[in-house]
Amino acid sequence: MPPPSVPDFNLIAPVYDALAQLVYGKAQKEAQAHFLSLIPTGARVLVLGGGSGWVLPELLRKSAPAYVLYLEPSTNMLQKARNRFAQTSAQAEVEFRLGTEASLLPQETFHVVLTPFVLDLFTPEEALDMMQRLSLALLPNGLWLHTDFHTSSAPPFWQKLLLWGMYRFFGLVSHISAERLPPFEALFQKIGLKTQQEAFFFKNFIRAQVLQKPVMPPARTK
Ligand SMILES: C[S@@+](CC[C@H](N)C(=O)[O-])C[C@H]1O[C@@H](n2cnc3c(N)ncnc32)[C@H](O)[C@@H]1O
């Protein structure tokens, strides 16, 4: 399969946080911050698609990792994250890298991977591809903190409307390939990760999950 197309968040970068707050209030941030204190001291952490970087000071306030790789394909988002980090007095080593999961080096491994509102930008096939790549980089017993939108099998009208609006909007502005939420449950199951904890926000429309990579690799599924 060809690598997923990279969405372009440069145009929206100056107003992304304000827009997200306008629609979801504090819910998106609260959800992303909810499980940060589970990051083990001294951990190597990968933040994929962290956007403007507000999550970094929060992460470093709630945990004490040794190294954080902040991997972001938008130059404008990455610059914002750099600027924000420059104003903190954190102990951890933080590397800002322009790129996607495809920019991970084969030997790079992490104790914790964060995917905050990033996998929803991709089709199920693309998301699975990315998740397999991320799973390779996650160490056995490693934690995956995944935060994203979530719907039940019969979502209320307002959730359908918000999803429809977001996919149209980001399709136009950021050229994302997806048109609906990937089936996260099934995709995590495919790569052999189980949910350990979860918490819901914004009337269950946002879910924060903690998944853990087993020590033994899962049996192969087609
Ligand atoms: C919807 S925004 C969410 C930003 C941030 N996580 C937040 O919740 O405020 C998605 C972010 O993922 C980044 N992104 C898109 N594709 C990516 C990829 N393949 N790998 C890493 N980041 C990606 C975008 O540049 C953008 O900053």
For each of the domains in the chain, give its residue range(s) and CATH number, in order of start: 16-212 (3.40.50.150)
Q: Which atom of ligand 1 is nearest to the CA of 8?
A: 25
Compute the average pLDDT of residues 211-222. 75
- Give me the chain's average pLDDT, please: 95
- Lining residues, ligand 1, CB within 6 Å: 6-7, 9, 20, 28, 48-51, 71-74, 77, 100-101, 116-118, 121
Distance (angstroms) between ligand 1 centre and the Cα of 154 equals 27
The pLDDT of residue 90: 81
Range 7-16 average pLDDT: 97
Give the separation between CA 206 and CA 213, rounded to whole angstroms.
22
Distance between Cα 39 and ligand 1 center (Å): 21
| Partners of residue 149 on adjacent β-strands | 206
Q: What is the CA radius of gyration of the chain?
A: 16
18: pLDDT confidence band, cut at 50, 70 and 90?
A: very high
| pLDDT tens digits, one per residue of 25-64 | 999 999 999 999 999 999 999 999 999 999 999 999 999 9
How far apart are the CA of 136 and the centre of ligand 1, in A? 20
The pLDDT of residue 185 is above 60 = yes
Percent of the chain scoring above 90 in pLDDT: 91
Range of lowest pLDDT (86-90, 146-150, 196-200):
86-90
DSSP, collapsed to helix, strand or coil, labels residue 23 as helix
Output the pLDDT for position 217: 64
To test the pocket of ligand 1, the residue of 8, 118, 122, 131 to mutate (highest count of ligand atoms within 8 Å of its CB) is 118
pLDDT exceeds cutoff 80 at 3: no
Which residues of 13-171 form beta strands (DSSP E)? Answer: 44-48, 67-72, 93-98, 110-116, 138-149
For the entire predicted model, the pTM comes to: 0.95
What integer is the mean pLDDT of 125-149?
98
